[in-house]
């Protein structure tokens, strides 16, 4: 029995360390010794592209989004924008209709009942005739060179290219700094995966381009459709690249409750995708399965590792001094993390807010997992409240 808990402790500790420490360091080390540095390719061809996104009650950002889509270095006659409004009840549709006079290639599809993002995207893709699709969100703002940078890396072998989302004017209050730090780490990891393996483990749904013929039908009631699309492209044998020079700007959330709801939705989608693509771990372990396991799966199961670490260390402390010390430090870590969650809006708590962010993220993963087990009834969504004070 003691051996069982020792093995449980060791596997749980390794699972957390692998996804948060060992795997990123392994990638960064390999990248550092790589002799050839990747440079952004020059855009030589200009295929027809169409920007697609679903919108629900986005009156606060929809005009800026549309303007940024057409104020680009890419040839204007090669760009179209197709928006699916999910039965919006504010001025979203009215504002889009007003801008159609200025932008003839702007199309609006108004859904009369709540449909959900995946269903809307499926419909928009089916209507599109463009060579390459750019999937985005209403609150993701393009820079003038974003679209050219997304299109430039495409070759016959490349199926999709993701951009780098950055937060605009993130504040020091709330959870903005924690979110920004986490996003920067994710971008760094995906960039290394792209450079080393030509398979970035998931593209951000707000800023990626894909060949239209490779876009899969997203299953009903599915969250995290961007990750579903990413792994579908890899499964078909195409490269999935991350171009850090294709920059998109997103407004940062500062409210813990709003971000928690968003992370629960992400968690549900994570486990939906795991159920669909788990075979990749075994069929294509090197390097796709290894990256999928290390970067994503182990991270999704971190809340369970944290629980098992606590239980096993509490049992083993009766037999070994090391585990008594570990259990004490772990309980202190839990207390400090809880304080970090409770006082996350206080900018003066320093390191505590990052500890709180870690636990808050794992609580969202845990809640999403149990919702996934119960079964997802609908994937209609409410947009995250933005620009919170």
DSSP structural state of residue 349: -
Per-residue pLDDT, 45: 84
> From CA 246, how far away is CA 250, in angstroms rounded?
13
Say how many C-beta atoms besides its own lie within 10 A of residue 369's C-beta: 20
- Give, in degrees to the nearest 5, the angle at Cα 249 between 245 and 252: 135
Per-residue pLDDT, 42: 75
Contact at 8 Å (CB) between 314 and 327?
A: yes
Q: What is the mean pLDDT of residues 360-389?
A: 80
**What is the tens place of the pLDDT at every residue in 324-356?**
999 999 999 999 888 887 776 666 567 788 888
Domain count, the chain: 1
Check which CATH number belongs to the domain holding 239 and give it.
3.90.550.10
Say how many C-beta atoms besides its own lie within 10 A of residue 294's C-beta: 22
> From CA 364, how far away is CA 208, in angstroms rounded?
25
- Is residue 112 in some structural domain? yes
- Give, in degrees to the nearest 5, the angle at Cα 115 between 84 and 366: 115
Structure confidence at residue 259 as a pLDDT band (50, 70, 90): confident
- Is residue 82 in some structural domain? yes
Per-residue pLDDT, 104: 94
Residue 75 or 172, more confident: 75
Q: What is the mean pLDDT of residues 233-261?
A: 88
- Is residue 32 in some structural domain? no
Contact at 8 Å (CB) between 161 and 154?
A: yes
DSSP structural state of residue 224: -
Backbone angles phi, psi at 59, to 5 degrees: -60, -25
Q: What is the mean pLDDT of residues 111-119?
A: 90
Average per-residue pLDDT in the chain?
Answer: 90
- Output the CA torsion sign for 355, 185, 205, 174: positive
- Is residue 354 in some structural domain? no
| Cβ density class 48-63: b for 16+ within 10 Å, e for less | ebbbbbbbbbbbbbbb
For residue 139, what are the domain limits? Answer: 49-254
Question: Where do the H-state alpha helices sit in 54-142?
Answer: 62-70, 92-99, 117-127
> From CA 56, how far away is CA 298, in angstroms rounded?
33
Structure confidence at residue 285 as a pLDDT band (50, 70, 90): very high
- Give, in degrees to the nearest 5, the angle at Cα 369 between 368 and 371: 65
- Is residue 194 in some structural domain? yes
* Residues in the chain, overall count: 389
Per-residue pLDDT, 305: 97
> From CA 108, how far away is CA 87, in angstroms rounded?
12
> From CA 14, how far away is CA 8, in angstroms rounded?
10
Q: Which range, of 69-73, 86-90, 276-280, 348-352, averages the lowest pLDDT?
A: 348-352
Nearest partner of 24 among 295, 387, 356, 361, judged by Cα: 295
> From CA 107, how far away is CA 67, in angstroms rounded?
14
**What is the tens place of the pLDDT at every residue in 18-46?**
999 999 999 999 999 886 655 667 777 89
- Is residue 282 in some structural domain? no
| Cβ density class 306-331: b for 16+ within 10 Å, e for less | bebbbebbbbbbeeeeebeebbeebe
Per-residue pLDDT, 170: 52
Per-residue pLDDT, 256: 76
- Is residue 108 in some structural domain? yes
DSSP string, 171-213: -SSTTHHHHHHHHHHHHHHHHHHHHHHSB-S---TTEEEEEGG
β-partners of residue 241 are 161
> From CA 91, how far away is CA 183, in angstroms rounded?
31
pLDDT exceeds cutoff 60 at 388 = no
| Percentage, residues of the chain above pLDDT 90 | 72
CA dihedral 209, 115, 258, 173 (to 10 degrees): 40
Helix crossing, 351-374 with 321-342: angle to 10°?
90
Q: What is the mean pLDDT of residues 289-317?
A: 96
| Percentage, residues of the chain above pLDDT 70 | 92
- Is residue 25 in some structural domain? no
Residue 210 or 250, more confident: 210
Nearest partner of 250 among 65, 85, 375, judged by Cα: 65
Per-residue pLDDT, 389: 43
Q: What is the mean pLDDT of residues 138-145?
A: 94
Contact at 8 Å (CB) between 174 and 255?
A: yes
pLDDT exceeds cutoff 90 at 322 = yes
């Amino acid at each position: 029995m003691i051996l069982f808990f020792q093995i449980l402790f060791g596997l749980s500790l390794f699972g957390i360390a692998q996804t948060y420490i060992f795997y990123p360091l392994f990638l960064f080390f390999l990248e550092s010794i790589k002799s050839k540095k990747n440079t952004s390719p020059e855009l030589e061809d200009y295929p027809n592209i169409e920007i697609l996104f679903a919108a629900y009650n986005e009156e606060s950002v929809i005009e800026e989004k549309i303007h940024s889509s057409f104020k680009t270095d890419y040839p204007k006659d090669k760009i179209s924008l197709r928006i699916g409004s999910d039965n919006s009840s504010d001025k979203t549709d009215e504002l889009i209709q007003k801008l159609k006079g200025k932008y003839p290639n702007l199309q609006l599809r108004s859904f009369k009942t709540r449909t959900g993002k995946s269903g809307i995207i499926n419909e928009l893709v089916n209507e599109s005739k463009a060579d390459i699709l750019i999937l985005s969100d209403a609150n993701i703002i393009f820079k003038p060179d974003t679209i050219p940078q997304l299109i430039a890396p495409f070759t016959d072998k490349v199926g999709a290219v993701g951009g780098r989302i950055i937060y605009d004017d993130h504040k020091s209050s709330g959870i903005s700094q924690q979110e920004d730090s986490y996003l920067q780490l994710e971008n760094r990891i995906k960039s290394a995966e792209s450079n080393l393996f030509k398979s970035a483990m998931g593209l951000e749904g707000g800023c990626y381009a894909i060949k239209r013929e490779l876009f899969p039908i997203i299953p009903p009631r599915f969250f995290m459709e961007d990750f579903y699309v990413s792994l579908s492209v890899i499964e078909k044998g195409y490269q999935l690249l991350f171009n850090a020079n294709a920059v998109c700007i997103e407004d940062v959330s500062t409210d813990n409750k709003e971000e928690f709801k968003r992370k629960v939705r992400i968690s549900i989608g994570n486990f939906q995708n795991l159920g669909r693509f788990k075979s990749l771990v075994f069929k294509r372990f090197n390097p796709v399965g290894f990256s999928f396991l290390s970067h994503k799966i182990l991270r999704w199961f971190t809340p369970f590792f944290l629980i098992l670490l606590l239980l096993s260390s509490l049992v083993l402390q009766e037999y070994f001094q090391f585990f008594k010390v570990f259990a004490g430090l772990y309980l202190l870590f839990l207390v400090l993390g809880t304080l970090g969650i409770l006082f996350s809006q206080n900018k003066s708590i320093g390191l505590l807010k990052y500890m709180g962010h870690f636990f808050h993220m794992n609580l969202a993963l845990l809640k999403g997992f149990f919702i996934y087990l119960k079964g997802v009834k609908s994937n209609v969504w409410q947009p995250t409240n933005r620009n919170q004070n």
